[in-house]
């Protein structure tokens, strides 16, 4: 938005396009405002703004806006509390001699947008939680042609291909807040649609639904598994001592992978006095973070290639189908603060199920754990068709 457009909104009373906050004392209310503007229930299809540093009576709150505040607010987009990721721009502006943070929020193409499992909406000056009817209207606003691959329906699949009991017992309580579930006003179809797991009007399971809750995901996506090889040597031609295919729903694959990682890490011990200290050859958390990254960021479209984990005597290689995506390029791959999501709906589902704590920190955590354990630095080979992460064994 131009400064002139911001000034015009700055001078208006609060509406379904404008909300004001004096400060960041209650960060959750700022996030609620972002969530509500992203949902755009009135269907304005234009930018909404949260002004931080302005009082409700439109006078200046005297907030000192510095880089730390701007970084904090910008981080609301990717800290995992608002899903799917809102499209927003954060900047410092001076309007009518008042210094404020302007949070420009674009309407989501894939509503409803939730804050920690709750759907916030704004109609006029009122902000509140969405009803089941509000959510139905939000689902109908989706712009299907612009959605990512993982949010589209899988041709030929039906709800019989989804484990609906597991959806009700495991996924739904993890993805939706308890008070919303307690209302119990939403049908199963409404719940699936609102969580981007079924595409109306025929409730075709989405790619994410098939991957996360599908009875047989590989029927639809042949490469949706993890291939594990343990090599006795340093070359692929050396003897294979263990080989596994980790299949099924992605949550089950990741749980199986955690167990395989634990079983293959060597933990020699050194004894000093009364203390016995284990020194693993690889930090478990680094391997876990990189493998989850590989499963989340890979391409599932048009390929039969799995995620490959090859465990050599001197290194572990984790190869993910699909090269860099969006704003992530070969030159900037792995740099802090540069992240994009080929599968944002899948990312939301795995975050809800607890497999992702925060977005954009998997590689930094892996690097930190490797350094603390005494391993050589993490290496990446980034190609158009795949990304290869190499972890070297601790000397």
Tokens 């131009």 locate to 2
Give the CA distances from residue 379 to residues 202, 236, 344, in Å, rounded to whole numbers and listed in that order.
Answer: 46, 19, 25
CA angle 211, 146, 72 (to 5 degrees): 80
Q: What is the pLDDT of residue 101?
A: 97
φ, ψ of residue 246 to 5 degrees: the values are -95, 110
What single string gives the DSSP state of each residue in 60-112? B------HHHHHHHHGGGTSSSEESPP-EEEEEEEETTEEEEEEEEPPPSSPP
Asked if residue 112 has a cis previous peptide bond (ω within 30° of 0), the answer is yes
pTM more than 0.85? yes
Q: What is the pLDDT of residue 272?
A: 61
Q: What is the pLDDT of residue 129?
A: 93
Contact 355, 343 (CB under 8 A): no
Contact 250, 224 (CB under 8 A): yes
- CB atoms < 10 A from the CB of 212, how many? 28
Q: What is the pLDDT of residue 274?
A: 61
Tokens 């989501």 locate to 108
Query: What is the number of alpha carbons within 13 Å of residue 351 lying toward its C-beta?
Result: 25
Average pLDDT for runs of 10 along the chain of length 395: 93 91 95 96 94 95 95 92 94 96 96 95 89 92 88 96 97 91 83 94 96 97 98 96 97 97 88 70 97 96 95 98 84 75 93 89 94 96 94 95
Contact 150, 207 (CB under 8 A): yes
Residues with Cβ < 8 Å from 16, sequence gap 6 or more?
41, 42, 44, 48, 122, 123, 124, 125
- Domains, the chain, in order of start with CATH, read 3-128 (3.30.950.30), 147-216 (no CATH), 226-392 (3.30.565.60)
Q: What is the pLDDT of residue 299?
A: 95
Give the CA distances from residue 299 to residues 150, 221, 332, 343, 369, in Å, rounded to whole numbers and listed in that order.
Answer: 10, 10, 19, 8, 27
């Amino acid at each position: 938005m131009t400064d002139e457009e911001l000034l015009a909104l700055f001078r208006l009373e609060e509406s379904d396009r404008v909300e004001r906050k004096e400060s960041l004392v209650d960060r959750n209310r700022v996030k609620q405002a972002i969530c509500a503007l992203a949902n755009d229930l009135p269907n304005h299809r234009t930018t909404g703004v949260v002004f931080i540093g302005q009082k409700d009576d439109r006078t200046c709150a005297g907030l000192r806006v510095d880089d730390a505040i701007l970084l904090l607010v910008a981080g609301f987009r990717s800290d995992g509390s608002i899903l799917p990721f809102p499209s927003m721009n954060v900047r410092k502006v001076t309007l009518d001699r008042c210094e404020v943070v302007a949070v420009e929020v674009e309407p989501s193409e894939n509503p409803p947008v939730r804050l920690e499992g709750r759907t916030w909406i704004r109609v006029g000056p009122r902000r509140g939680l969405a009803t089941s009817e509000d959510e139905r209207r939000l689902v109908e606003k989706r712009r299907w042609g612009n959605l990512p691959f993982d949010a589209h329906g899988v041709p030929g699949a039906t709800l019989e291909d989804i484990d609906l009991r597991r959806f009700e017992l495991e996924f739904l309580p993890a993805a939706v807040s308890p008070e919303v579930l307690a209302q119990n006003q939403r049908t199963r179809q409404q719940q699936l649609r609102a969580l981007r797991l079924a595409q109306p009007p025929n409730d075709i399971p989405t790619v994410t639904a098939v991957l996360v809750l599908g009875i047989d995901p590989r029927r639809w996506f042949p490469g949706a598994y993890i291939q594990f090889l343990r090599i006795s040597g340093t070359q692929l031609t050396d003897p294979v001592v263990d080989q596994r295919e980790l299949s099924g729903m992605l949550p089950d694959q990741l749980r199986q992978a955690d167990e395989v990682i634990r079983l293959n890490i060597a933990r020699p011990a050194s004894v000093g006095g009364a203390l016995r200290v284990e020194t693993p050859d690889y930090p478990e958390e680094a391997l876990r973070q990189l493998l989850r990254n590989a499963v989340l960021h890979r391409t599932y479209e048009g390929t039969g290639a799995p995620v490959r984990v090859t465990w050599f005597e001197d290194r572990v290689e984790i190869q993910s189908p699909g090269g860099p995506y969006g704003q992530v390029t070969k030159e900037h791959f792995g740099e802090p603060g540069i992240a994009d999501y080929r599968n944002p709906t899948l990312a939301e589902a795995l975050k809800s199920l607890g497999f992702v704590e925060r977005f954009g920190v998997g590689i930094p955590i892996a690097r930190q754990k490797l350094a603390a354990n005494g391993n050589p630095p993490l290496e990446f080979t980034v190609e158009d068709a795949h990304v290869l992460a190499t972890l070297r064994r601790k000397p």
